[in-house]
Amino acid sequence: MLILMKQGATPEQIQAVCRRIREIGFTPHEIPGSIRTAVGITGNQGAVSPEHFQNLPGVAECVPVSRPYKLVSREVKPDPTVVDVRGAKVGDGSLSLMAGPCSVESRDQIFRTAEVVAASGAKFLRGGAFKPRTSPYAFQGLKEEGLQILEDVKRNFDLRIVTEAKDTETLEAVAAVADVLQIGARNMQNFSLLEAAGRLRKPVLLKRGISATLQELFMAAEYLLSLGNYQVMLCERGIRTFETMTRNTFDLSAVVMIKHHSHLPVIADPSHGVGIDWAVPPLARASVLAGADGIMVETHPDPSKALSDGQQSLNFDAYRTLAGELAELAAWQAARR
């Protein structure tokens, strides 16, 4: 159920609706819009009767929500969500570039990368300190030491840090450094982690699971929003198909579908999507034209020596070229809007 307030409804009238929702045992979610405010309801198992609200002052209409992902859907919030990451806005029509290595490997590696990423005009540096790896024998990340390096980068560059929270045990330590908490593909349905991240007031980049449908991605995001964290970005990073020539199958249609069905910003990650360095730039460019709010790419000072995902990481020359092309495409895209 979504309660649409009249245009010009007062804050007191909106609060009275929220109070009534709490009185009947559910959770209100205020959803401000460009024309009017709406109030969503979660916590109910079945339908909620409109009789509770329709006579309250300021209420225009009570409409049932048809989607199971209530708070994530455009149905409840037609206006796009803009996520504010320390002043950098994602989803406001500009293109956000998030770049960096797969893993934080050393201070030197991260500082050299940060210099290139900041000079390219990007506002976000990515890099994992805690790495979820398929093999227990593979590099697992520098962990706390990696977080410390990222903390130092923040002090030296105008860059916001995107880094992964691998589990609930380390979430607090990661959140202390991260400007954007990445929840990785393998954790998309780690419901304890989603609940814990939902309780934090920190932007989250939620990556699509390796075999997850878009509805499952939306439902995973719903965990975050239903707990009050509305600062969520959704990330297409490729899915498992029968194809073996690429690491995953980068689902460009997901970018279009997410934008259509949800108000949350969408970030495209063609690096994990295709898994091959030379194939990343064309897919990154295509993602901008498909309407992505941001592009995440892996870049490394020497991809051949990377401790993870070297095969899909751009060297700095290729990264700089791509960043320039994306800026041009983003300007063209913005002028069309």
Closer CB to ligand PEP, 37 or 313, in the complex? 313
Q: Which of 97, 96, 109, 108 is nearest to 308 (CA)?
A: 109
Under rule CB under 6 A, which residues in 52-91 are in contact with ligand PEP? none
102 binds Mn ion (CB under 5 A): yes
- Report which of 267, 225, 266, 294 is spatially closest to residue 76, judged by C-alpha positions: 225
Binding marks (x or -) toward ligand PEP, 12..51, rule CB under 6 A? ----------------------------------------
Does position 185 interact with ligand PEP (CB under 6 A)? The reply is: yes
Opening angle at CA 63, ends 62 and 66, nearest 5 = 155
Binding ligand PEP (rule: CB under 6 A), the pick from 237, 247, 263, 300 is 237
Give the whole-angstrom CA distance, residue 185 versus residue 133. 11
Euclidean distance between CA atoms 100 and 110, whole angstroms = 8
By CB under 6 A, residue 102 contacts ligand PEP: yes
Q: Which residue is nearest to ligand PEP (CB)?
A: 184
Nearer to ligand PEP, 112 or 186 (CB): 186
Stretch that binds ligand PEP, among 59-67, 167-175, 184-192, 277-285 (CB under 6 A): 184-192
CA distances from 70 to 43, 65, 66, 263, 329 (A): 11, 7, 8, 11, 33
Residues 6+ apart with CB under 8 A from 233: 83, 90, 91, 180, 203, 204, 205, 206, 264, 265, 266, 267, 293, 294
The count of residues interacting with ligand PEP (CB under 6 A) is 8
Choose from ligand PEP, Mn ion, none: what does 184 bind? Cβ within 5-8 Å by kind. Answer: ligand PEP
Are 249 and 223 spatial neighbours (Cβ–Cβ below 8 Å)?
no
Q: Which is nearer to Mn ion, 75 or 164 (CB)?
A: 164
Q: Which of residues 207-226 bind ligand PEP (CB under 6 A)?
A: 207
Collapsing DSSP to helix, strand or coil, 258 comes out as helix
Between 75 and 236, CB nearer to ligand PEP:
236
| Segment contacting ligand PEP by CB under 6 A, of 3-11, 50-58, 76-84, 178-186 | 178-186
> How far is it, in rounded angstroms, from Cα 44 to Cα 40?
11
- Sequence-distant (≥ 6) Cβ neighbours of residue 210 within 8 angstroms: 185, 186, 239, 240, 248
The yes or no reply on residue 171 touching ligand PEP (CB under 6 A) is no
The SS3 call for residue 96 is strand
**Residue 247 interacting with ligand PEP (CB under 6 A):** no
Residues lying near ligand PEP in the complex (CB under 6 A): 102, 128, 184-186, 207, 237, 272
Residues lying near Mn ion in the complex (CB under 5 A): 102, 309
